Amino acid sequence: MPRRRCSLFYLLALLSVANIALALTAWESIHQTIHTYPLAIDSKDFALLSKVFTPDATANYTGDLSNLNGLPAIQTGLAASVATVYSQHLLGTTVIDIHSDRIDANSTTYFQASLFGNPYSIGSVVYLYGFYADTLEKGVEGWRISRRQLVFQGPGFVGNLSLVGG
Ligand SMILES: *[C@@H]1O[C@H](CO)[C@@H](O)[C@H](O)[C@H]1NC(C)=O
Ligand SMILES: *[C@@H]1O[C@H](CO)[C@@H](O)[C@H](O)[C@H]1NC(C)=O
Ligand SMILES: *[C@@H]1O[C@H](CO)[C@@H](O)[C@H](O)[C@H]1NC(C)=O
C-alpha cells in the first residue's frame, strides 16, 4: 500500500510539473508572438505572419509601407520589401506592458535588420536600426499584434542604400 501511494504521488507531481512547463504566462506568450516575426520574414514564410498579426491589423513601416491595412496588405507589403534581398532581423530589448484587463498590451521591441543583396557581393548590404511600438490583443488563437508602428533610431539606414531604393 505505501508503495502505491508513493507512485501516485510521483505521478501527480510529474503531471503538475509538465503542466507548469507547458503553460506560458501572458508575458511569455506575447514575447513568442513578437519574436516569431523574424522567423516569418527572414524565411519569406509570409503565411506565418498570421501567427503574429490579427486579421485586421494595421502597420506603419514608414515610406511606401506607411499605411498597411489588414493582414493581406501587411503580407504583400513586407514580401515586396525583401523581394530582392536576403534579410536577418535581430530583435533585442523587449519591454511589454500588459493592461489590467489582461486582454490587451503594448510593447517596445528594438530591432536591427540586415538586408543583403541577392546575389550577395562585397558592399551589397544595408543595416536598419529602430524599434517596433506594438499594440497587442488576446484572441481565441492567442496574442496577436493589432497595430505596429516602426520608429527608426539614429540614422535609420546605414550602408548601401541602393538596396532599399535609395
Ligand atoms: C507613419 O509613420 C510616419 C513616421 O512616424 C509618420 O510620419 C506618418 O504620418 C505615419 N503614417 C500613418 C498613415 O500613420
Ligand atoms: C505603452 O503605451 C503607453 C501609452 O502610450 C506608453 O506610455 C508606454 O511607454 C508603452 N509601453 C511600452 C512598453 O512601449
Ligand atoms: C551596392 O549594392 C549594389 C546591389 O547589390 C551593388 O551592385 C553595388 O556594387 C553596391 N555598392 C557598393 C559601393 O558596394
Per-residue pLDDT reduced to its tens digit, 20-64:
557 899 999 999 999 999 999 999 999 999 999 999 999 999 999
- What's CA 150's distance to the chain center, in Å? 12
pLDDT at 22: 74
Q: For the chain, how many structural domains are there in total?
A: 1
Residue 148 falls within a domain, yes or no? yes
Residue 20 falls within a domain, yes or no? no
The span from the CA of 51 to the CA of 9, in Å, is: 38
pLDDT at 165: 83
Q: Could you list the residue range(s) of the whole structural domain that residue 60 is in? A: 25-164
> pLDDT tens across 96-155, in order?
999 999 899 999 999 999 999 999 999 999 999 999 999 999 999 999 999 999 999 999
CATH (domain of 46): 3.10.450.50
> pLDDT tens across 85-95, in order?
999 999 999 99
> pLDDT tens across 10-30, in order?
666 666 655 555 789 999 999
Quick check: 65 and 152 in contact, CB under 8 A? no
- Which one of 58, 61, 62, 157 would you pick to mutate in the ligand 1 pocket, going by the greatest count of ligand atoms within 8 A of its CB? 62
Q: Bridge partners of 94?
A: 109
Residue 41 falls within a domain, yes or no? yes
Q: How many residues can be counted in the chain?
A: 166
Task: Show the ligand 3 pocket: residues with CB < 6 angstroms.
Answer: 117, 123-124, 160, 162-163
Task: Show the ligand 2 pocket: residues with CB < 6 angstroms.
Answer: 95, 97, 106-108, 133
